[in-house]
Amino acid sequence: MATAEARGAHLGRLERSALTGVLVREAVNYSSYWKSSTFSSTVEPTIYLLAFGFGFGSLVSTIGGYDYVDFVGTGTVATAVLFSSAFPAMFGTFVKYQFQRTYDAILAAPVDTEELVTAEALWIATRAGVYGCVPMLVAMVFGLDPSWGMLAVPFIGWVAGFGWACFGISIAGYAKSFENFNYVVSAVLTPLFLLAGSFFPLDNFPQWAQVLANLNPLHHCVVLVRHAVFGWDGWKDLARLGALAVFGLLVWRIAIHAMTRKLID
Amino acid sequence: MADLAIRLRGVVKRYGAITAVDGLDLDVPEGTCVGLLGPNGAGKSTTMRLLTAQAIADEGELEVLGFRLPEESKQARAQCGVVPQLDNLDTTLTVEQNLLVFAHLYRIERSERREAIERALEMSKLVGRRDARVDKLSGGMRRRLLIARALVHRPRLALLDEPTVGLDPQVRQELWALIDALRSEGTTILMSTHYIEEAQRLADTVLIMSHGSAVAAGPPSDLVLEHAGHEVLEVYGPPARLAEVEAEAGAAGMRTRRTGTSISILGVDGTNGFTIDGERRPANLEDVFVLLTGEEIA
């Protein structure tokens, strides 16, 4: 009997061709639903922007030194990133393994769970990076001035989106049913999203709350986007980017662990 | 002796208190079609999942195409095609898009991708439906696409898990022709089924599974001869009469099996002194199956 060595090179971990295969599947599927997905990713942040921008904007014209529309327009980039990463990751992952059994089909091909999860997160992160720019573009229509730093925004959205995608995949991996998501949305995502500094600055919060905010990855995303648009804050911003990267790497490994438990008996 | 495409020795897989596969030995020589026959819950699907490392065995040795599982499973999977029991096609994509995705997942070179997809479309007779969305296809077409998708990269080994379950007879025959064509091309096939006719028609050798292990293995005709002889006497009657016949045959040292409305006395070949009236018919694999896997439905 021929030995394994004689039958071809050893296939390693995180192979490019395996990642590509999963990404191609997502891209081809995206071609069948991009309209609805783009619609919701654009309309939701626009509504937030209009509601908060004109609602609060009529009461307060400037906040923390920014025009309120500029403040919310940049702040809701993080909201858009969250909505287009954590939510699709949570629901999409659950649907794909539970109802469509897509992952069974993919894992029967030469793709490991680690590659599957990584490729799914990369795909969602890329979408989040693009869709995350929408509120900023809408804000530009309402008077936000263009700046070179804006070019960094898709990248910031991508890094944050990767983490939130892995977060969503992890939740889907540990969840026993769809209903479990309610706890996560109410108890985790909603507070993080409201206390990220998107709609109001956190400066007036007590000291302990401001310290805690530094544990909220979404808060770093909000601040980084604002600084990208209005001016960087040196080392502090680099530290924030590092925090986002650490968050991403950590939940990436958790997501792989969760999905391996789920998919491999 | 030919190389083995699959070699399992003493494989055990437990789910909590349940032992789904219990000391299974299985040999699939290259270029043959082996049927894994067993009632529901015998461990066929778990065995299939073990072969792609989607389930990890608790004990035993597993080799697929010369690769040790689970460590080298990815290399093995690259040369396997899997047809799952439950349809997991991408339903909002077209027939061709489904094949394209798997051409990528199975790492077919760019220059060969087009040709591989065309070949798969032709094999599954879906050339005319290439642009149809999967959710617009009939059940039979979806099954054919599921098989074509598994074969797009011309695997050396095809794993078919209940390939015709829940389909009407016409569609089933269509799929048998497809599987038979695959076999004649020299692809090794392991097929699980609980349809006896399917195993009898397609498999070179059959392995009968019950409660997670093999209870008999061999070419269908040999198994029939060994366990049920040439002829079977089938006796009809009211339940009380059947019980009588059963006792009488048992006393004469004959094996029997119930068939619902009748009782079959196995291996009655040349038994002249036997006085029970009934219909003689050739023994078949179903007789062996019921005899070996038990009459009670678990």
Q: What is the ipTM of this complex?
A: 0.89
pLDDT of residue B267: 82
> Rounded to whole angstroms, how far apart are CA atoms A146 and A131?
18
Average pLDDT, integer, range B175-195: 91
CATH code: domain B230-282 is 3.30.70
Taking an 8 Å cut-off on Cβ atoms, the answer to whether A264 and B104 are in contact is no
Of A104, A264, A265, the CB nearest to B88: A104
B4-219, CATH topology level: Rossmann fold (3.40.50)
pLDDT of residue B290: 87
Domain ranges of chain A: 15-21+34-263
Q: Which residues contact A256 (CB under 8 A, 6 or more apart)?
A: A113, A114, A117, A118
| Per-residue pLDDT band at B269 (split at 50, 70, 90) | confident
Q: Is B116 left (phi over 0), alpha (psi -120 to 50) or beta?
A: alpha
- With 0-12 / 13-18 / 19 or more C-beta atoms within 10 angstroms meaning exposed / middle / buried, residue A230 is middle
First and final CA of chain B: distance in angstroms?
A: 38
pLDDT of residue B194: 83
A182 versus A167: which is more confidently predicted? Answer: A167
Whole-prediction pTM: 0.91
Is the Cβ of B132 closer than 8 Å to some Cβ of chain A?
no
Taking an 8 Å cut-off on Cβ atoms, the answer to whether A4 and B104 are in contact is no
> Rounded to whole angstroms, how far apart are CA atoms A121 and A142?
33
pLDDT of residue B272: 55
| Per-residue pLDDT band at B88 (split at 50, 70, 90) | very high
**Chain A neighbors of B110, CB-CB under 8 A:** none
Average pLDDT, integer, range B163-174: 86
Taking an 8 Å cut-off on Cβ atoms, the answer to whether A25 and B90 are in contact is yes
B201 versus A155: which is more confidently predicted? Answer: A155
Of A17, A102, A111, the CB nearest to B88: A102
Instruction: Note the pLDDT tens digit of each residue in B240-262.
Output: 888 888 888 888 888 888 877 88
Instruction: Note the pLDDT tens digit of each residue in A139-161.
Output: 998 889 999 999 999 999 999 99
Q: What is the mean pLDDT of chain A?
A: 90
| Per-residue pLDDT band at A48 (split at 50, 70, 90) | confident
Taking an 8 Å cut-off on Cβ atoms, the answer to whether A28 and B54 are in contact is no
pLDDT of residue B165: 84
pLDDT of residue A169: 97
Taking an 8 Å cut-off on Cβ atoms, the answer to whether A29 and B93 are in contact is yes
| Per-residue pLDDT band at A60 (split at 50, 70, 90) | confident
* Bridge partners, B281 (sequence order): B232
Instruction: Note the pLDDT tens digit of each residue in B119-163.
Output: 999 999 999 999 999 999 998 899 999 999 999 999 999 999 998
Residue A151 tokens, joined = 């070019």
Domain ranges of chain B: 4-219, 230-282
Task: Indicate if the pLDDT at residue A7 is higher than 70.
Answer: no
CB atoms within 10 A of CB B142: 18
For Cα atoms B163, B165, B166, give the angle at the middle one, nearest 5 degrees: 140
